[in-house]
Amino acid sequence: MKAENISGIVLAGGFSRRMGTDKAELTLGGLTLLELQVRKLRQIGITDIMVSGYGKPMEGARAIEDIYPHKGPMSGIHACLKAAKTEACLVVSVDVPLFPAEWLEKLVQAHDGPVTMLCYGNEVEPLLAVYDTQLASRAEELILSGNWSVRSLFAGLEVKKLEYTGDPDFLLNCNTPEDFEKAKTLFQRVN
C-alpha cells in the first residue's frame, strides 16, 4: 500500500503515572516525542495525521477525541479509525520515539489488509501496526462489551507480520524516567 492511502495515528494518551509527566511533551533533540512521531509520519508521505489523547493543537495533525474515553489505547484507535480519511491507518505510540521512520514505511508497504503488524522475536507489537479503517465497528463492539484489549481487535483475523530486523534498542518503550534516560543516550548515539 502507498502512504497517500494511509492515515497516521499517534497514540499520545494515558496518564503517564510511571513517567510522572506527560510523555508526549518530553524532548529529544529539541523536539517533543509527539513532534518526533508526527515528523516521521510526514517523512514517509502520510498527510492525514491524527493525534489521540493529546488536548493541545498540533500543527499538521488533527486532534481526535475518544468517543469512549478511558478505555486505553483501544479507545484512541477506535476514534481515529472512525475519523480517518483513508482506508487504513498506521498506528504508532508516542512513547517509542527511537523507532525508525523507514520501518514505519515498511509496515505501510507491506499492508494489504486487514492488519499488518510489526513483530520481533515471538512478540507482536499491536501499537506499531496498520489497521484497516473498517475495523472501527469491531473496535466499538469490543469496547461496548467491556473488552478494551487491542489484541482482541485482531484476534481471529489474518494478521500479516513484518519481522523487525533492526536494532532492538529502537523498540524501547519510554514508560519510566529510567527508560527515557536510556532513550536520550541512544538518541545521542545515532544523531
The tens-digit pLDDT sequence of the chain (191 residues) is: 787 899 999 999 865 666 656 788 889 999 999 999 999 999 999 999 999 988 888 888 999 999 999 999 999 999 999 999 999 999 999 999 999 999 999 999 999 989 999 999 989 999 999 999 999 999 999 999 999 999 999 999 999 999 999 999 999 998 888 988 898 888 887 76
DSSP state of 56: S
For residues 78 and 62, give the distance between their C-alpha atoms in angstroms, rounded to a whole number: 15
The one-letter code for the residue type at 35 is E
pLDDT computed for residue 134 by the predictor: 97
For residues 158 and 181, give the distance between their C-alpha atoms in angstroms, rounded to a whole number: 38
- Number of domains present in the structure of the chain: 1
Beta strand 123-132 with 88-93 is: antiparallel
Q: What is the CATH number of the domain that holds 153?
A: 3.90.550.10
Range of the domain at 9: 3-190
C-beta of residue 83 within 8 angstroms of C-beta of residue 62: yes
- Its sign, for the CA torsion 172, 173, 176, 180, is positive
Note the pTM of the prediction, 2 decimals.
Answer: 0.94
